[in-house]
Chain A
């Protein structure tokens, strides 16, 4: 009898285990928190409008995204205007979206920069042109933007934000760009102690690093953010694209690693390393905080990051109670400095085939694309966060470099549709170092968006070759930087070119030229 009891218990246990195992497979519930409580102050009103509010799911394909919840005054205002609220998921890594696409598990909306060509596919997304025709006939998008995003099938599925044509940028002199541009800051106090040596060329900068190294042997002369190591210097040497980009000369397109000027850049980086001005392990940093610690902690003289690096380092230093400060190097440190903007924008929003309310979705985007919507997302609420200055820029009541305030209120990041001009105006704060650096950059920027049209199609042979070459460059370039002599650096550079040829660089370049010839007239 007793034995039977034990057996019964065991049987029950096994059953429970089995059920829990099987249910575990499907038991992955989505986000636990709803958006309750955001409207707590005006309950009565919220109750009446609640039925009309459409909730759409949005996937943001950028793991670094600073906002991950639809809340704050901007989000509330957008919901008030459009009747749409978003249930936001931010990607865990850059492999999540490809996996979602392959499993067919798509949300209502996707905001992505890396999968734009992939999602511009009638199997996965609704064409905007069809939705606009059907539901939002007054939603006007200019021809350039349409042309950039129109695919082979004649449809366009998104329009990227952060894009402006050369004419638009010229028209708005206060639209100066955003934080996403390279810059270098140096310690003002140390510079003074060194007797304020001149800093008007790359050679001057190297000299100053040498003086720092000599006088402060415990300091690292230059620390670099892991994502902002090369861009500033590449531009100083007149290289017209980043290492994975294209440049144009005499109507012909070639890969940036083949531009003659790039060898000077490589030699320069190697020189920095050989003289002990940069650390080898800087190239092994896996997070973007280490360089900040060096700079803010007073262990580095120069800090390579973005145009806002001096402002943000100084704010942190002040918080820590230290008394030194950083100032930006000029954006053009040499007469060769050149910035070629071939960007077609940053990221675009897609209305997927799984979308449960395409009508509300396109109307939602229509609002974001309106003048009111663009200013609301970028600057905040008019009167509360900003007022319009007749000169042609917003007087912001906050510091746009104050990440806590900006992210906390959800300013900027709901730019699911926007443009380079409005976004560029948010960066204009008279008197800041960032604004100065951006103004200097704008002065030497040349716009060649037609180069940006050279984009490989998903699953194409060119895409495979390009990915492999880029991955190869990522590893081989470090061998050039860290070579023990200039001869070795040059030899490593040549061997990198050879490997690229071996992978199929020539084929890729031929394809790029063909594409370029076909598409370049779009901007004429």
Chain B
């Protein structure tokens, strides 16, 4: 009896193996494509990871690449230094607040715009809005920072001038040079720049909804809002969850619109520094400028750990709440 089971097991197994290779052969082109992506990841994401060693060592740049292995171990010294830095609290707060604010506003915005565009009946209008809203995506942040200066400057800014001459304000607004306004500026410019681009993915999700559902709902007496709520939104839910998880995973980089570093670096100045300095810009300035690669690596590692925790917990919550998840 036992022998029989064993034999049947091994037969089953070799059968499965044969099937596996047969399938592999059938999908070899697809596997080649996957392989390409994996080689990319291996070279650009996994290989450089050995550099993490630096975070636990006293690495000096004059010792070259082999110095990463030969330099002296110092344990958590660099982590301690960052955690006990007098600005640690402020910098971590800025990173988290900026990240969460950006997700809070930039995530729902394209969903809303997609639904609005879907409801627009005038095709021409819809096309124009779509084009106008996604074009800023192609402007780089450096250019955006330049444009922002000419629009928002307290002295020569167009917006301040217009508001002043309309008598709406009696003193120019110091948007670029006030620590209280930095987060608003960052979130606002991110929404302006990326909302149209991300609308495309949600419009695609809406396009996949069967139109007969709308017709049936209409016959059943569902109004516009009811249709949006029960059909459009339900049809987008899967896409929304996947995008949300990806967003949370990269939340410390700024979520789906990214660019936390670019914004903090380009809009940041010594006046708004108390709200604009984030972990990445701090690591860049203190770590790289003076060749303190070990310290920069330690700071970045701390941030990566926070990001990993965030992606796992958001995946878990998504699974619990909606049933769909990334893994």
Interfacial residues, chain A to chain B (CB-CB below 8 A): 7, 10-11, 14-15, 17-18, 21-22, 25, 94-95, 98-99, 101-104, 118, 121, 123-124, 220, 279-281, 283-284, 286, 458-459, 463-464, 467-468, 471-472, 474-475, 477-478, 482, 499, 502-503
Other than A102-B61, A279-B154, A467-B289, give 10 A-B pairs with Cβ distance below 8 A: A7-B29, A11-B32, A25-B43, A102-B67, A103-B64, A280-B174, A284-B272, A475-B273, A477-B270, A502-B86
Interface of A is mostly: helix
Q: List 28 A-B contacts (CB under 8 A).
A: A17-B36, A18-B39, A21-B40, A25-B43, A95-B289, A98-B289, A102-B62, A103-B64, A118-B61, A123-B62, A123-B63, A279-B154, A279-B155, A280-B154, A280-B271, A281-B154, A281-B177, A281-B271, A283-B270, A286-B145, A459-B58, A459-B60, A463-B290, A471-B286, A474-B270, A475-B270, A475-B273, A499-B86
Contacts of B303 in A (CB 8 A): none
Q: Give complex CA distance A121, B285 in Å.
A: 24
3 pairs of A and B residues whose beta carbons are closest in the complex: A284-B269, A102-B61, A98-B291
Interfacial residues, chain B to chain A (CB-CB below 8 A): 29, 32-33, 35-36, 39-40, 43, 58, 60-65, 67, 85-86, 145, 153-155, 174, 176-177, 266, 269-274, 285-286, 288-293
Beyond A22-B39, A279-B155, is A98–B61 a contact (Cβ under 8 Å)?
Answer: yes
A515 to chain B, nearest CB (A): 19
A21 to chain B, nearest CB (A): 6
Beyond A10-B29, A286-B266, A286-B269, is A121–B62 a contact (Cβ under 8 Å)?
Answer: yes
Complex partner residue of B60 from A25, A94, A458, CB under 8 angstroms: A458
- Interchain CB contact under 8 A, B33 and A14: yes
Contacts of B35 in A (CB 8 A): 18
A130 to chain B, nearest CB (A): 19
Contacts of B32 in A (CB 8 A): 11, 14-15, 18
- Interchain CB contact under 8 A, B36 and A458: no
Q: Give complex CA distance A220, B85 in Å.
A: 39
Contacts of B39 in A (CB 8 A): 18, 21-22
Contacts of A503 in B (CB 8 A): 86
Closest to A226 in B: B269
Closest to B32 in A: A14
Contacts of A464 in B (CB 8 A): 290, 292
Contacts of A101 in B (CB 8 A): 61-62, 64, 291
Contacts of A15 in B (CB 8 A): 32
A123 to chain B, nearest CB (A): 6
A459 to chain B, nearest CB (A): 5
Contacts of A471 in B (CB 8 A): 285-286
Closest to B43 in A: A25
Closest to B64 in A: A104
Q: Give complex CA distance A475, B174 in Å.
A: 18
Q: Give complex CA distance A94, B67 in Å.
A: 22
Contacts of B177 in A (CB 8 A): 280-281, 283-284
- Interchain CB contact under 8 A, A103 and B271: no
Contacts of B270 in A (CB 8 A): 283-284, 474-475, 477-478
Contacts of A17 in B (CB 8 A): 36
Complex partner residue of B36 from A18, A124, A280, CB under 8 angstroms: A18
- Interchain CB contact under 8 A, A468 and B291: no
B262 to chain A, nearest CB (A): 13
Interface centre among B35, B64, B85, B286 (most CB of A within 10 A): B64
Beyond A21-B40, A458-B60, A467-B290, is A11–B269 a contact (Cβ under 8 Å)?
Answer: no
- Interchain CB contact under 8 A, B29 and A102: no
Q: Give complex CA distance A284, B271 in Å.
A: 7
Q: Give complex CA distance A459, B71 in Å.
A: 13
Beyond A21-B40, A102-B293, A459-B60, is A283–B288 a contact (Cβ under 8 Å)?
Answer: no
Q: Give complex CA distance A425, B295 in Å.
A: 45
Beyond A14-B32, A284-B177, A475-B273, is A118–B62 a contact (Cβ under 8 Å)?
Answer: yes
Q: Give complex CA distance A22, B36 in Å.
A: 10
Q: Give complex CA distance A368, B32 in Å.
A: 58
Contacts of A94 in B (CB 8 A): 289
Beyond A98-B291, A101-B291, A482-B271, is A124–B174 a contact (Cβ under 8 Å)?
Answer: no
Contacts of A123 in B (CB 8 A): 62-63
Beyond A279-B154, A281-B153, A284-B177, is A14–B61 a contact (Cβ under 8 Å)?
Answer: no
A422 to chain B, nearest CB (A): 32
Closest to B142 in A: A286
Q: Give complex CA distance A286, B149 in Å.
A: 10
- Interchain CB contact under 8 A, B176 and A281: yes
Contacts of B269 in A (CB 8 A): 283-284, 286
Contacts of A475 in B (CB 8 A): 270, 273-274
- Interchain CB contact under 8 A, A478 and B271: yes
Q: Give complex CA distance A308, B150 in Å.
A: 28
Q: Give complex CA distance A482, B270 in Å.
A: 11
A100 to chain B, nearest CB (A): 9
Contacts of B145 in A (CB 8 A): 286
B239 to chain A, nearest CB (A): 28
- Interchain CB contact under 8 A, B291 and A118: yes
- Interchain CB contact under 8 A, A98 and B288: yes
Q: Give complex CA distance A399, B64 in Å.
A: 45
Interface centre among B86, B269, B290 (most CB of A within 10 A): B290
Q: Give complex CA distance A474, B32 in Å.
A: 53
Q: Give complex CA distance A15, B273 in Å.
A: 49
Q: Give complex CA distance A99, B64 in Å.
A: 9
Beyond A7-B29, A22-B39, A474-B270, is A281–B174 a contact (Cβ under 8 Å)?
Answer: yes
Complex partner residue of B65 from A102, A121, A458, A482, CB under 8 angstroms: A102
Q: Give complex CA distance A467, B296 in Å.
A: 14
- Interchain CB contact under 8 A, A102 and B291: yes
Contacts of B154 in A (CB 8 A): 279-281
Closest to B285 in A: A471
- Interchain CB contact under 8 A, A104 and B65: yes
